[in-house]
Structure 1
Amino acid sequence: MELIVQPLGQSVPVTAGDNLLAVLREHNIPISYSCTAGRCGTCRCKVLEGRVVESGQEAKITNPNEGQYVLACMSTLNESCVIEVPEPDEIVTHPARIVKAEVVFIEDATHDIKRIVLRSAKPLSFSPGQYAMLQFTPEHVRPYSMACLDSDDLLEFHVRLVPDGRVTGYIAERLKVGDSVRVSGPMGTAYLRRKHEGPMLCVAGGTGLAPVLSILRGALAAGMRNEIHVYFGVRSPADIYCADELASLAQRHSNLRVRIIVAMGVRDGAYRRGLVTDAVAEDLPNLEGWRAYLCGAPPMVDAATLLLRRRGIQPEHVYADAFYASAT
């Protein structure tokens, strides 16, 4: 039996029952990974020929691409096969950690969004755009994206309060400064690709702005000179937040363009009205060579993914971790 790894063209011998991630690591084949337990989704790869047996469940991620994707850490090889590892020059291998953190700041970002800032007892290494699992109590656990960088002293999260939500109800009514929070991560595949030199598109809906802010901060801090186009879509003017920060970043960095799109309730032309995907379609007719980061509710992510592929972005260059707002 053999395993052929594309786009590297590398072939390695395997034995029935071998774990795919273990084989890749043993032969120094570059692949991103973190938790090695099927939770973070980082080691996703594509099966081109042959079959592998995958166990466990993915983290709550919507993959916008086509094809038979598996998590290498949860996959067993039982026959010769060909796989494709994504972007071997952009791998991340942040070790999965569980750290204790303390709530140091809570504020209302909007009428239904809380900004929560934590101080971690130990550093948490992650790439801009990734997320973590926050455990406020054994019964109150939920994934949220970092809005900060791992070089910052504090961890920042944006939480939209869900009506009758179990976790967000706890956050709204009981969480206070000084409380302990267990942070597990990092997770997610929609992290900043630092080696890409072409234009970047970031589309955020609601608190999807949190990972987009992390991506922006990471790109600008690294001195990336790519054109960066940010589209931030909200339901109404009351749902806009961090507008001053976005404007300040755009003012300081000539390669950054920010557009805020409001679906309803706009008066006097204060903001552009409509759906964020319609705004992207109107402004950007050709996206060949671009990379896109989509952050928000699954319907927006799915609609944007279809649009961007029609506009010329390769499926493997559309990055999205879409979270379902269940009653939590």
Structure 2
Amino acid sequence: MEGPVENRRTQERPKINIKVSGEHNAAFSISPNDMLLKAALEQNIDYPHSCRVGVCGQCKTKLLAGKVSPMVDLALSPLTNQEILDGYFLACQGKVRGDIEIEVRLGHHHVFPEQQISGRVSLWKRLPGDVIELRIALESPFFYEAGQYAYLAESGSFTRRCFSFSDAPPLDPKVGATEVGFLIKRLPGGRFSEWLFEKDRTGIKMWLHGPYGVMGVDEPNADGLCVAGGTGLAPVLSIVEHRLRTSATACFTVVYGVQKQADLFGMDKLTTLASRHPGRLSILPVLSHEPENSDWTGARGLVTQPLDENLGVDFGSVASFICGSLPMVAAVEQRLLALGVNPERIHADKFLPSG
């Protein structure tokens, strides 16, 4: 794709000029044919991103001049047809062909450099819903933000998978975490999750590589609406815990969807947070496949069902955080837009099986 004006200068290292609101505020160079997002993050550019595989749309960028080749089928892109016509592309899938000028929103989160740290499993615990709570005691401090994720791998294995942190990071950004937690669902046939579920992995050495993503970024004192499907609860727990601790006023509503009552893992963590911050956290579990004759008296149906004017949320001002499978997140996004949520305040993490 090409911007309105193609810059035909050829250089060994193409130059990227970044504009925000019509003013230059950053510039850097990359190697020819590099992916824009990868190169930006390697140089600690504060670039928005989450999935890094062309699904989430967080790295949406407008091309003002120059040439970028998209490495993903535009028919499968999260960008709308109008956005593509207006010159938008995904930085994670954009191969830079020469000098370019772009417009993107920067500077809204702190960039921690990628870290690769080893540790040992300190907790391996089966939870309802075929989920493992995994905790890793680290050999050195690890720095990350609420809502981010990292790659995990057993020491000596080439199989690695990404999972969101379920813990809030330390309050002091200069102090790294010495232990981190994850909620990992068994994926039938999944190489990593099947290995993890075979037996208690306490004491096993593992590697942690990250952090990635910017899902938890918004105005610190804004009220929040979180919608989580399954283990999408992990980043929600991280965000809610962190924001309740750092803001004296922000209140949260968490809509949490699973299939059956027997799948409700993590409720103890949510209720503990609610008891620590009285009146500031509302929890609404929703069951999609609970038998009609069960003793469940709570909400039923899809996780989008409770999202209406009766939820008690000011949709015009709320910051929303959505985490779960791609179809679930897409449905929730559309529902929130229809309810008047500002699209700039919809932050999503779309989980995809890998491997």
Does the alignment reach a TM-score above 0.5? yes
Aligned: 1:301 with 2:329: yes
Give how far 1:122 is off: 1.4
Give how far 1:39 is off: 7.5
Mark the CA change 1:207 to 1:14 in structure 2 (over 3 Å): closer, same or farther: closer
Distance in 1 separating the partners of 2:79 and 2:297: 33
SS in 2 for 1:127: coil
Q: Which amino acid is the alignment partner of residue 264 of structure 1? A: H
Q: Which residue matches 1:228?
A: 252
Aligned: 1:289 with 2:314: no
Partner residue of 2:288 out of 231, 249, 263: 263
Q: Which residue matches 1:179?
A: 204
Q: Which residue matches 1:148?
A: 167
SS in 2 for 1:278: coil
Structure 2, unmatched stretches of 5+, are 1-6, 8-15, 171-176
Distance in 2 separating the partners of 1:127 and 1:112: 27
Distance in 1 separating the partners of 2:27 and 2:203: 53
Instruction: Report the TM-score when normalising by structure 2.
Output: 0.76
Q: Which amino acid is the alignment partner of residue 238 of structure 1? A: A
Q: Sequence identity, in percent?
A: 24
Q: Which amino acid is the alignment partner of residue 61 of structure 2? A: K
Q: Which residue matches 1:121?
A: 139
SS in 2 for 1:170: helix
Aligned ranges for residues 45-56 of structure 1 at < 5 Å?
45-47=60-62, 49-53=64-68
8 Å CA contact 1:294–1:321 kept in 2: the answer is: yes
Mark the CA change 1:82 to 1:279 in structure 2 (over 3 Å): closer, same or farther: same
Aligned: 1:273 with 2:300: yes
Give how far 1:104 is off: 1.1
Give how far 1:29 is off: 11
Q: Which amino acid is the alignment partner of residue 185 of structure 1? A: G
Mark the CA change 1:170 to 1:287 in structure 2 (over 3 Å): closer, same or farther: same
8 Å CA contact 1:54–1:71 kept in 2: the answer is: no
- The superposition leaves residues 229-287 of structure 1 with CA deviations (integer Å, 9 ceiling, x where unpaired) of 11100100011012122123223322221111111225334321111111113634861
Q: Which stretch has the larger CA shift, 129-138 or 281-290?
A: 281-290
May I ask how many residue pairs the two structures share in their alignment?
A: 316
Mark the CA change 1:69 to 1:293 in structure 2 (over 3 Å): closer, same or farther: farther
Give how far 1:311 is off: 1.5
Partner residue of 1:189 out of 198, 210, 214: 214
Instruction: Report the TM-score when normalising by structure 1.
Output: 0.82
Partner residue of 1:76 out of 79, 90, 96: 96
Q: Which stretch has the larger CA shift, 133-142 or 44-53?
A: 44-53
Mark the CA change 1:177 to 1:96 in structure 2 (over 3 Å): closer, same or farther: same
8 Å CA contact 1:21–1:75 kept in 2: the answer is: no
RMSD, matched Cα: 3.6
Mark the CA change 1:204 to 1:33 in structure 2 (over 3 Å): closer, same or farther: closer
Distance in 1 separating the partners of 2:221 and 2:167: 22
